[in-house]
Structure 1
Amino acid sequence: MSTAPADARSLRRERRAWYVYDWANSGFVTTTGTVLFAPYLTAVATAAACPDLPAGVDCDATLSVLGVPVAPGSLALYTTSVSTAVSALLLPLVGALSDRVVRKRLLLGAFALVGALAAAAMALVTGTDWQLGVLLQVVAGSCLGASLVVYNALLLDLAGPDERDRVSSRGWAVGYVGGFVLLAANLALVSGHDALGLTEGDAVRLSLLSAGVWWGVFSLVPVLGLRDRPLARPPDAGAPDGAPPAPPRPGAAVRGVLGELAATVRHARGHRVTLLMLLAFLLYNDGVQTVIYAASLFGSAELGLAQSQLITAILLVQAVAVLGALLMGRLAGRFGARRTILASLGAWVVVVGVAYGLPAGRFDLFLLVAVAIGLVLGGTQAISRSLFAQLVPVGREAQYFSLYQAAERGTSWVGTLVVGLVVQATGSYRPAVGALVVFFVLGGLLLWRVDVRRGVAEAGREQPRVV
């Protein structure tokens, strides 16, 4: 009796378990990372710096962070930068470790558990405890990045070359649904806190707690639902395919991880197509992330929109991004991932151009721009992940995805720096948003030069049907 149908069912179950991690961590990213924690940490820091400040009056005092004066309004931004920098330094080590571990699902679960505990503990940040908030944000952000290195690398175990675009897109879509559901529930809690007999601070802390619990509980699904596989061995590893790895000598684990990291950096220099794809992604993804970050600032400062209107737009982006990710997954399967991403970058240029000309006070037009952003947002990121996966050398999956994740996080400040400099020079967000077109154009030009079939061959992987 053939085992093929049973194997196919088992693979589908594993994929569904893998999708759930997008659902799990997106609840934290949207509720805590995108909406609630930065304003809350700013309020706590302001209370510490100016304890007797009357309502509506700006705080001119500063906090001392390791002897450096920091304005309370900048603390959350600097904390995010520190978390990003820590991730950029640690993630290559995580990737090297992951490629030496058979039970990757447990490694994923360990990072998710620590990150979720830190996220849930943010509910303990009260009064003037800004130091605790900073520490927890750094720990949670670093663990999120580490878990995503392992998670992204698992895509290569769960999908063949012609399935990765579709599988990656479904994961992103499930993540957007999860982020939308939890964010909508928490925004309802915060908005209706009076009816529930809660203060606004209590409602925010409960929401932060829910995001940590959500992340931790749903992370159990991939930990329990995925199965362990033998370590993939690169063709140049000097051992027969399928041979079990030699057990490490006592005390050699750390040296082995560091050695593999150095070898990966040297190895990457021989895979120029993969590095070109990575550089292109860094440019256009920085544009994507900056548009999302700056959209609320643009809507409030330039268009004069209310906070409730901006929250509505955020939820709309999350909802439409589900459809966008699935649609672009289908388009990639028909026309190829590279062509689909190039088309999406053209759409991003149009979106930025339309946003530049939006008249003040037109919430209806702002919502149309939000719909357009949602359609291209999830798909651009999902298909980029699957395209990069095609170019990752065999046996070095997590190591290369650690470079992908670390480089993304390590350079994601460039777009926001450009926006800040242009706003400072011009006093307006319109030219600042318009300047982001450069990221999409330059990223697209580099992606145009990526020879996918050559990169797949150099990586030692099976060629996809279309590229």
Structure 2
Amino acid sequence: MPVPAPPAALDESPAARRREQRGWYFYDWANSAFYTTVISVFLGPYLIPVARSAACAQDFPGVPAERCSADFDNLIAANPGLGYVDVLGADIRPAAFFGLITTVAVFLQIVLLPIAGALADHTGRKRELLGGFAYVGALAAMGLFFVEGDRYMLGGVLFVLANLAYGCSIVVYDSFLPQISTPEERDGVSSRGWAIGYLGGGLLLALNLVLYLQHESLGLAEGEAVRICMASAGLWWATFTIVPLLRLRNRPVPAHETTALRSVGGSFRQLGRTLSELRRYPLTLLFLVAYLVYNDGVQTVIGNSAAFASEALKLDKTVQITAILMVQFVAFFGALALGGLARRFGTKRTVLASLVLWTAIVATAVFVREGEALQFYLMAFAIAIVLGGTQALSRSLFSQVIPKGREAEYFSLLQISDKGSAFIGSLTVTIALQLTNSYRIAIVSMVIFFVVGFVLLALTNLPKAIRAAGNEVPARI
């Protein structure tokens, strides 16, 4: 029997790397549309009324639909046993439905992201897995076009599926970073990817907001315009994913089980080994905890910015939407600027400086006056400058302190620390609101996350962590 020829060596020349890097950037451009258009702006405000319509049809059939929706709170106050929707046998208030499916999506990501990462590393088929996860998510997002009337469960299932596929695809996507860039290139590559993601997400959101605001002149109902906007995010995601799938290349991995079932089993065993071996990399674990803390502050501030604008500052939706758009485009330049600062002053120093700025920005929340849109815009502008850079450089740093051949598994742990820790910041905001009834104090309470994260990151000996993971220490870190 003839012996099969060994696989041809991959071209790892600078030109070949740059070609892959340009393709890699496009996945940030592709998937950011889903996060900005669907998650950040349209789905929650649309899906809750859909659930409310289902509750109206079920419990108040004699009340006209528009009146029921407008007077829903009064109707359920007068009929406390009514006004629920059924979710797998449980009675759920329509207002709580979006929060419920978001919680389910996060829980499933915590369970499945490590498996996706282990499978990517174990099989070496990262490009195929990236495409598979991306197109499942994109098709689910396009399916949101059919969520109308009382189809709240369809919307919930599609959102959970899209969000789960999105998270799995990000794990695989991030794991390409150390394979397509040298240690010296990594800050710049990560920053450019993050910046291009903000630009792509912002561009589609701008187009969708034009469609939404002009829906009457275009002969569209408001709900129809929203459904088109959400479906367009899936179409954008699917279309631009073609570019990285054409450019990225799989790397060879050690021999492994050949069947799909055995590969999944092998992935589970490899994941178990990774979790147990994490004790061998205490500085990597310390960085992961530092990131968990300060990124929780970042995500909580962003997640509560709209509520802060409406509740504390009494600003209308127009101001909130235009601020979101501004953040997308300013963050593009901010990510590139902080990437440049990292090349000059070092990545760790730049991230630490960004945490100082985050602390100062959040502390100013107590001084922003009610009704002052300009002050809110200035605060959003300052956040946008540090937002993309903080996240992009953190991704770059993490890629330096993980062992080769286990990139997807470790990046799944980074994603889990991102998703799984989100409740800590939310709980802090909830407690602050309960004690003070002030969104200003609630936002200012995030200072503790940036301070603790700063201290933990400052204590992390990154050169030692990089050497312990078996990697080359860059000239500037």
The alignment's TM-score, normalised by the length of structure 2, stands at 0.92
What does the per-residue CA deviation read over 1:33-52, in whole Å, with 9 as the maximum and x for residues that have no partner?
10000111111011111244
3-state DSSP class of the match of 1:269?
Answer: helix
Question: Match for residue 363 of structure 1?
Answer: 373
Q: Aligned partners of 2:400 and 2:12: how far apart in 1?
A: 26
Q: Aligned partners of 1:251 and 1:43: how far apart in 2?
A: 42
Quick one: which of 247, 252, 257 aligns to 1:225?
Answer: 247
Q: How does 1:158-173 map to 2 (within 5 A)?
A: 158-173=180-195
**Structure 1 residue 184, shift from structure 2 partner:** 0.4
Q: Which amino acid aligns with 1:129?
A: R
What does the per-residue CA deviation read over 1:193-214, in whole Å, with 9 as the maximum and x for residues that have no partner?
0000000001000001100001
**Structure 1 residue 250, shift from structure 2 partner:** 8.3
Check whether the contact 2:122–2:263 (CA below 8 A) recurs between aligned residues. Answer: no
**Structure 1 residue 102, shift from structure 2 partner:** 2.6
**Structure 1 residue 251, shift from structure 2 partner:** 5.1
Quick one: which of 30, 53, 68 aligns to 2:36?
Answer: 30
Question: Match for residue 237 of structure 1?
Answer: none
Question: Match for residue 456 of structure 1?
Answer: 466
What does the per-residue CA deviation read over 1:407-435, in whole Å, with 9 as the maximum and x for residues that have no partner?
21111122122212322332221111111
Q: How does 1:33-182 map to 2 (within 5 A)?
A: 33-51=39-57, 52=63, 54=67, 56-59=70-73, 60=76, 61-182=83-204
Q: Which amino acid aligns with 2:453?
A: G
3-state DSSP class of the match of 1:334?
Answer: helix
**Which structure 2 residue ranges, 5 or more long, are not aligned?**
1-9, 58-62, 77-82
Q: Which amino acid aligns with 1:181?
A: L
Quick one: which of 403, 414, 422 aligns to 1:404?
Answer: 414
Question: Match for residue 234 of structure 1?
Answer: none
Check whether the contact 2:122–2:270 (CA below 8 A) recurs between aligned residues. Answer: no
Q: How does 1:37-436 map to 2 (within 5 A)?
A: 37-51=43-57, 52=63, 54=67, 56-59=70-73, 60=76, 61-231=83-253, 244-246=254-256, 248=258, 252-436=262-446
Q: Aligned partners of 2:457 and 2:270: how far apart in 1?
A: 28
3-state DSSP class of the match of 2:86?
Answer: strand
The number of residue pairs the alignment matches comes to 452
Q: Aligned partners of 1:36 and 1:138: how far apart in 2?
A: 15
Identity, % of aligned pairs? 46
Q: Aligned partners of 2:204 and 2:476: how far apart in 1?
A: 37
3-state DSSP class of the match of 1:161?
Answer: coil
**Structure 1 residue 249, shift from structure 2 partner:** 7.0
Q: Aligned partners of 1:246 and 1:317: how far apart in 2?
A: 45
**Structure 1 residue 224, shift from structure 2 partner:** 1.0
Give the 3 Å change call, closer, same or farther, for CA 226–257 of structure 1 in structure 2: same
Give the 3 Å change call, closer, same or farther, for CA 250–439 of structure 1 in structure 2: closer
Q: Aligned partners of 2:397 and 2:257: how far apart in 1?
A: 33
Give the 3 Å change call, closer, same or farther, for CA 47–461 of structure 1 in structure 2: same
**Structure 1 residue 228, shift from structure 2 partner:** 2.2
**Structure 1 residue 333, shift from structure 2 partner:** 1.4
Q: Aligned partners of 1:280 and 1:457: how far apart in 2?
A: 19
Give the 3 Å change call, closer, same or farther, for CA 5–230 of structure 1 in structure 2: closer
**Structure 1 residue 100, shift from structure 2 partner:** 1.5
Q: Aligned partners of 1:166 and 1:254: how far apart in 2?
A: 34
**Structure 1 residue 11, shift from structure 2 partner:** 1.8
**Which structure 1 residue ranges, 5 or more long, are not aligned?**
232-243
Q: Aligned partners of 1:79 and 1:414: how far apart in 2?
A: 19
Q: Aligned partners of 2:248 and 2:382: how far apart in 1?
A: 35
Q: Aligned partners of 2:442 and 2:262: how far apart in 1?
A: 50
Q: Aligned partners of 1:252 and 1:141: how far apart in 2?
A: 27
RMSD: 1.6
Q: Aligned partners of 1:389 and 1:417: how far apart in 2?
A: 30
What does the per-residue CA deviation read over 1:171-222, in whole Å, with 9 as the maximum and x for residues that have no partner?
0000000011000000111111000000000100000110000111111110
